[in-house]
Amino acid sequence: MRLTCTVNGREETVEDVWEGESLLYVLRERMGLPGSKNACEQGECGSCTVYLDGVPVCACLVAAGQAEGRRVRTVEGLAEGDRLDPVQEAFVECGAVQCGFCTPGLVVQAHDLLARVERPSDAEIREALAGNLCRCTGYEKILDAVRLAAERKASA
Amino acid sequence: MDFLRPTTWAEALAAKADQPDAVPVQGGTDVMVEINFGVRRPVALLDLTRVAELGTWTSVDGRHRIGAAVPYSVIIDRFGGELPGLAQAARTVGSPQIRNRGSVGGNLGAASPAGDSHPPLLAAGALIEAESRDGGVRMIPADGFYTGVKRNALRPDELIRAFHMAPATGPQYFSKVGTRNAMVIAVCSFAIALHPGERRVGTGLGSAAPTPRRAAEAEEFLAKELDWAAPLAPALLDRFGELCARAASPIDDVRGSAAYRRHAVAVMARRTLSWAWHDHLGRRAA
């Protein structure tokens, strides 16, 4: 089937999409957007987190056809040109990246948290990121990065 | 594989009637896992995300009528006060991303014995509104909805439109055993709902039998023995726990042993009743 949706502000159309495939597969394999990572394919790890109509979801659990006519925003769509989003900057500065595989999902999920909550408590950060697994277990620096991004956004 | 995308409830019912094998998909948190892993290859997916009615809620005869697609995140935000047991269970579902997509309707459709929303639906006496093009609307009590492991009372041409639940008239609690706070399929779970006006206590067991189920004998015991003006007698609390454990018929599996589950059900039953009773007496005193 054909699928048309808006991805990072641009309307995209892809052909020959299998009815059972996921939005994640379409993004990575058909649209050349490999930022969202494919790890568990069962919603356990959060590595494929994208915005669907403004709501963070696991792209691996969205049937491709469910994205028809919808707006998708991936990690590739957070920066403005060469200017990284404050969340991305903070991840770089805090060294909140080890192997990097979980990073895109964490960045999108943290981006959503800071869009909703200006100064999240540690408990709120932990709850918001509870569905994003880092197998390097680099959580402390990830928490540092979210705190730093929150501080900067709030004082900007 | 066909991909059917009705945009109205009538179209959805027609699609299901014409193609009863079509698998309804909403948040995809169960269905897409099975497809991703090749466990299931349905002849057709019936995408319900375009049926706007399913994401809305209204009040009918003093009960909330909540659309099958209303996600857990909305249940938590909008119904934490009036449906506290269900909202507590909703908070334990998966992760924020999963709660943004998963719904009570999906939980009911999948009918997994471990589904988090089932125990509070049972304890509160929820009704499930099913409908088909040719058979019309059927109201199915939660108690009669679960028929086997991942099986429910829906006919092949029926879809779940909504569930109905009265605002709580007494304290409600949900308890769940798992290895961590997030992303946990229940090892076992338990819900309790006090109905002080009827001098009745409702229960629901999860992941402790082939289906979610009530502890009927334990409910009857409390209806007979409970003094609604007095503190809980320790012996009564113990007996309640025993009867709830006896209602379970768990299995050994990767998440836990049958013996552990039976034990944990008794513990959760005693705890949730104690919490609820504390609130109940507090409200009487206030």
Whether ipTM tops 0.95, in short, is yes
A90 plus A145 within the same structural domain: yes
Domain termination site, one of A77, A102, A128:
A77
Are B147 and B244 contained in the same domain? no
In chain B, which residues have their Cβ closer than 8 Å to the Cβ of A43?
A: 29, 32-33, 94-95, 97-98
Q: How far is B189 from chain A (nearest CA, A)?
A: 20
Of the three residues B130, B165, B200, the one that is the final residue of a domain is B165
pLDDT tens for B31-80 read 999 999 999 999 999 999 999 999 999 999 899 999 999 999 999 999 99
pLDDT class for B284, splitting at 50, 70, 90?
A: confident
Instruction: Please tell me whether residues B161 and B179 are part of one structural domain.
Output: no
Shared domain check, B279 and B180? yes
| Domain shared by A108 and A139, yes or no | yes
Inter-chain residue contact B101 with A61, CB threshold 8 Å: yes
Give the gap in angstroms from C-alpha A126 to the nearest C-alpha of chain B: 10
Please, which pLDDT band fits residue B286 given cuts at 50, 70 and 90?
Answer: confident
B224: three-class secondary structure by DSSP? helix
Last residue of a domain, one of A44, A77, A110: A77
Q: Give yes or no: residues B260 and B216 share one domain.
A: yes
Q: Which residues of A touch B25 (CB under 8 A)?
A: 63, 66
Q: What residues of A are in contact with residue B100 (Cβ under 8 Å)?
A: 55-57
- Which residue is closest to A23 within chain B, CA to CA? B32
**Measured between beta carbons, which residues in chain B are less than 8 angstroms from residue A68?**
5
Percent of all residues in chain B with a pLDDT value above 70, rounded to a whole number: 100
Asked whether the beta carbons of residue A57 and residue B101 sit closer than 8 angstroms, the reply is yes
* Parent domain of A39: 3-77
Given a cut of 90, whether residue B217 has pLDDT beyond it is yes
Is residue B102 within 8 A of residue B29, CB to CB? The reply is: yes
Same domain, B145 and B204: no
Verify whether the Cβ–Cβ distance A57 to B97 is below 8 Å: yes
CATH number at residue A127: 1.10.150.120
A97 shares a domain with A140: yes
> Do residues A130 and B95 make contact, with C-beta atoms less than 8 angstroms apart?
yes
Mean pLDDT of A51-68: 98
Same domain, B58 and B128: yes
Residues B153 and B180 in one domain: no
pLDDT of A156 above 90: no
Which CATH number characterizes residue A8's domain? 3.10.20.30
The answer on B135 and B187 residing in a single domain is no
Kindly state whether residues B29 and B116 are assigned to the same domain.
Answer: yes
pLDDT digits (tens, 9 = 90+) for A20-50: 999 999 999 999 999 999 999 999 999 999 9
The answer to whether A99 and A136 are in contact (CB under 8 A) is yes
| pLDDT value of position B208 | 96
Strands across the sheet containing B188-195: B172-177, B188-195, B200-206
User: Of B126, B150, B165, which marks where a domain is finished?
Assistant: B165
Q: Which of A77, A110, A139 is the last residue of a domain?
A: A77
- pTM assigned to the model: 0.97
Tens of pLDDT along A93-129? 999 999 999 999 999 999 999 999 999 999 999 999 9
CA distance B89 to B103: 12
The per-residue pLDDT for range B3-14, each reduced to its tens digit, is 999 999 999 999
Quick one: how far is CA B181 from the chain centroid?
Answer: 19
Which pLDDT score, from 0 to 100, does residue B253 have? 93
A101 and A145 housed in the same domain: yes
Question: Per the structure, how many domains does chain A have?
Answer: 2
Rounded Cα distance between A117 and B78, Å, is 18
Alpha-carbon distance B171 to B258, whole Å? 29
B8 min Cα distance to partner chain A (Å): 15
Q: CA-CA distance, A73 to A93, in Å (whole number)?
A: 24
Tell me the nearest-neighbour CA distance from A121 into chain B, angstroms. Answer: 16
Together in a domain, B84 and B115: yes
Same domain, A43 and A95: no
B251 touches chain A (CB under 8 A): no
Answer yes or no: do B208 and B87 share one domain: no
Q: Domain range holding B265? A: 172-285
Identify the CA nearest to B149 among candidates B202, B214, B208.
B208
Distance of residue A44 Cα from the nearest chain B Cα, in angstroms = 7
Structure-model confidence comparison of residues B163 and A138, the more confident one: B163
**CATH code of the domain in which B91 resides:** 3.30.465.10
pLDDT (mean) for A12-20: 97
DSSP-assigned letters across all residues of A26-73: IIIIIS--TTS--S-SSSSS-TTEEEETTEEEEGGGSBGGGGTT-EEE
- Kindly report, residue by residue over B152-194, the tens digit of the pLDDT: 999 999 999 999 999 999 999 999 999 988 889 999 999 999 9
Inter-chain touch B97–A109, beta carbons under 8 Å: yes
- Does A106 lie in the same domain as A45? no
Contacts of residue B97 in chain A, CB cutoff 8 Å? 43, 46, 49, 56-58, 109, 131
Number of domains forming the structure of chain B: 2
- Sorted by sequence, the CB contacts under 8 Å of residue A105 that are 6+ apart come out as A36, A37, A45, A46, A47, A48, A49, A75, A132
Clarify whether residues A106 and A68 are in a common domain. no
Best probe of the A interface among B19, B32, B54, B93, by most A CBs < 10 A, is: B32
CB contact under 8 A, B29 and A61: yes
Average pLDDT over residues B222-235: 96
Q: Are both A128 and A63 inside the same structural domain?
A: no
| Closest chain A residue by Cα to residue B1 | A19
Shared domain check, A60 and A26: yes
Last residue within a domain, chosen from B129, B149, B165: B165
Same domain, A63 and A119: no
Are A14 and A69 in the same domain? yes
User: What pLDDT shows up at residue B112?
Assistant: 96
- In this structure, the answer to whether residues A59 and A93 fall within a common structural domain is no
